[in-house]
């Protein structure tokens, strides 16, 4: 189950972009504001997009050279690591801190390698501990500028440690492979997270047809990501001005579309580099949600897989409730100590638990396809998805999910994107809504005990 806000730092990237083009919006011009804004967004992202495309192409060229026998696999991995380090150096000058962080994390894991039964959990502890240590010593602005990169590296290390124990891949992981995997230039900034196996598959040579189709697919993903960022930065304010519910809806939707931008951009980078990666965020399932559970799964599909395999399933033997709580806790801590993120994630955990409980009981009582997850085609329910009562109940839960998304998302209003949001900011905004979303969840929980 995915409970993360994401592998990516969409707020920080968009905040920087807004600085670059904010002056353009104040100029008196005959051009409409949305067009000027769009131009500013594209211009502010031009350098970043050029680097992403260039390193994806460079990676495919180096893979072809390696496949011809002129470059060893170890040299190829070293090249990937060096390219990734250059990307970090060029992007907000975070190289030194990230390399020191990675070295400390690998050193801690190395000394714990003999405790094989606890190897994965030690990796979780060391990874989160290192993240919190860096957050403590760095300024808020500096930490926020590299938080996404550090989180991706920690996720890669955790998954690798579990795979070493569960799949016995340790003997094949050389130091060059490790650093090439951790510093892959096409995933080191914005993700997506991928296991070592997928990284190694990206180093295989492909046919010309496969290379061409991959590049075309990556181009489509990239173009779509630009549509998302344009809508987030330039359109939502025009569609949802003023205040009240619809303005809050626009703020929340702007945050979600900025996330889609980073997600699809990262997917484009991964696909162009040869990695077998698909869509990272299913935006339709989020904007028109059947349930909050579907939102959680669709928000960041790679992170969902990571949390499902390496956190939830590893802890499930201690009970479902403990596994859910631990998964949400790990997901929250991967983003560092941040009241707003923790509050949103824990609230989401409560909402999904309550929704699943209520809909499961209603589904059993009325023999209807109204569970939190869509029924299989051969389910035993008497009232299928096209029954009137099923359609009505599913629509009611859909509306409740949309209200929850507005409530949770309206706190990400870009007012403190550079340094992180304070507890006061979050509580003040939710208090203006009289904590209505939490009240709905508590009421539904009470109803679930009566069913």
Angle at 122 between CA 196 and CA 199, to 5 degrees: 5
Q: Give the CA distances from residue 46 to residues 41, 51, 224, 328, 348, in Å, rounded to whole numbers and listed in that order.
A: 9, 9, 15, 36, 35
Nearest C-alpha neighbor of 386 from the set 373, 398, 371, 368: 368
Q: Tell me: cis bond preceding 78? Omega within 30 of 0 counts.
A: no
Cβ neighbours of residue 130 under 8 Å, at least 6 residues apart?
101, 104, 105, 108, 150, 154
- 352 token code pair: 């999904």
CA distance 15 to 416: 9
> Which pLDDT score is estimated for 416?
62
CB-CB contact of 74 with 173 (8 Å): no
CA distance 195 to 202: 11
CA distance 310 to 103: 22
- 138 token code pair: 């760095």
CA distance 33 to 36: 5
Cβ neighbours of residue 436 under 8 Å, at least 6 residues apart?
403, 407
Largest CA distance in the chain: 70
Phi/psi of residue 383, each to 5°?
-100, 105
Positions in the chain whose pLDDT score sits under 50: 1, 5, 8-12, 14-22, 24-25, 27-28
CA distance 205 to 183: 20
> Which pLDDT score is estimated for 102?
92
Please report the sign of the dihedral spanned by the C-alpha atoms of residue 277, residue 278, residue 281, residue 286.
Answer: negative
């Amino acid at each position: 189950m995915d409970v993360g806000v994401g592998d990516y730092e969409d707020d920080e990237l968009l905040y920087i972009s807004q600085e670059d083009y904010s002056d353009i919006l104040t100029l008196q011009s005959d051009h409409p504001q949305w067009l000027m804004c769009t131009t500013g967004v594209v211009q502010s992202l031009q350098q970043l997009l050029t680097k992403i495309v260039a390193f994806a192409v460079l990676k495919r060229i180096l893979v072809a050279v390696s496949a011809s026998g002129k470059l060893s696999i170890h040299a190829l991995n070293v090249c990937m690591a060096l390219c990734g380090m250059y990307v970090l150096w060029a992007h907000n000058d975070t190289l030194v801190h990230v390399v020191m962080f990675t070295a400390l994390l690998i050193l801690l894991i190395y000394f714990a390698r003999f405790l094989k039964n606890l190897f994965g959990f030690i990796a979780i502890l060391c990874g989160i501990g290192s993240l919190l240590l860096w957050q403590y010593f760095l300024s808020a602005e500096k930490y926020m500028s590299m938080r996404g990169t550090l989180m991706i590296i920690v996720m890669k290390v955790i998954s690798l440690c579990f795979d070493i124990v569960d799949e016995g891949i340790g003997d094949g992981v050389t130091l060059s492979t490790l650093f090439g995997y951790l510093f892959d230039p096409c995933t080191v900034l914005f993700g997506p997270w991928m296991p070592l196996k997928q990284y190694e598959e990206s180093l295989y040579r492909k046919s010309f047809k496969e290379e061409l189709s991959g590049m075309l697919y990556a181009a489509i993903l990239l173009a779509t990501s630009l549509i998302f960022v344009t809508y987030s930065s330039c359109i939502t304010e025009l569609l949802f001005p003023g205040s009240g519910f619809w303005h809050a809806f626009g703020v929340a939707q702007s945050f979600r579309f900025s996330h889609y931008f980073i997600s699809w951009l990262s997917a484009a980078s991964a696909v162009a580099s040869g990695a077998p990666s698909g869509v990272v965020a299913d935006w339709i399932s989020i904007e028109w949600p059947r349930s909050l559970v579907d939102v959680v799964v669709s928000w960041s599909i790679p992170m969902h897989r990571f949390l499902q395999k390496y956190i939830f399933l590893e802890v499930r033997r201690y009970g479902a409730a403990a596994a859910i709580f631990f998964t949400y806790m790990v997901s929250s801590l991967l983003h560092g100590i941040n009241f707003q993120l923790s509050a949103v994630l824990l609230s989401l955990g409560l909402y999904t638990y309550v929704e699943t409980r209520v809909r499961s009981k209603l589904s059993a009582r009325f023999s209807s396809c109204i569970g939190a997850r869509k029924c299989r085609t051969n389910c035993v329910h008497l009232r299928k998805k096209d029954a009137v009562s099923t359609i009505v109940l599913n629509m009611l839960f859909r509306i409740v999910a949309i209200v929850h998304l507005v409530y949770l998302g309206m706190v990400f209003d870009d007012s403190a994107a550079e340094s992180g949001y304070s507890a006061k900011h979050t509580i003040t905004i939710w208090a203006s809504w009289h904590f209505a979303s939490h009240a709905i969840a508590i009421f539904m929980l009470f109803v679930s005990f009566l069913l």
